[in-house]
Amino acid sequence: MKLKLGLQRVGSIVFGRVLEQDNDFEPAVGEETCIVLSIESLDNPELSRNALFVRGDYKARDNSWFAYDYECEETAIQAVEDIKALVKMVNSDEETKKPEDCGLEIIE
């Protein structure tokens, strides 16, 4: 698995952290109609309205939590679905991947 996230939503807040990330991680870009349009690697884990940034150049913050407070609960629900689809896209070319395992773990 190239990318595995722990993700939770409470009302309009989506938060989580990167549980696993391979060195050969490739960014993913979703449909233009998505709330979260991309998963990318930059400096450290961070969630913005339209993008999730995973582990990057700032190694000391690799295990940091990310969070974003969306305008409403419905938007947050859609953002979680978008992130799930993007993680599945990142992990999709793995031949040994279980079809039901999209790399998203709901943390409670």
**Residue 78 within a domain:** yes
**Residue 107 within a domain:** no
**Residue 104 within a domain:** no
**Residue 54 within a domain:** yes
> How many domains would you assign to the chain?
1
Contacts of 56 (CB under 8 A, 6+ apart): 41, 42, 43, 44
Q: Are 82 and 74 in contact (CB under 8 A)?
A: no
Give dist(CA 7, CA 107) in Å, integer: 6
Q: For residue 78, what are the domain limits?
A: 3-96
**Residue 10 within a domain:** yes
**Residue 32 within a domain:** yes
Q: What residue has token string 């689809």?
A: 85
pLDDT tens-digit readout, 41-67? 888 899 999 999 999 888 888 889 999
Using the Cα atoms of residue 10, residue 79, residue 8 and residue 60 in order, give the sign of their dihedral: negative
Least confident of 2-11, 26-35, 75-84: 26-35
**Residue 103 within a domain:** no
**Residue 30 within a domain:** yes
Give dist(CA 68, CA 66) in Å, integer: 7
- pTM (2 decimals)? 0.81
Q: Flag whether pLDDT at 97 surpasses 50.
A: no
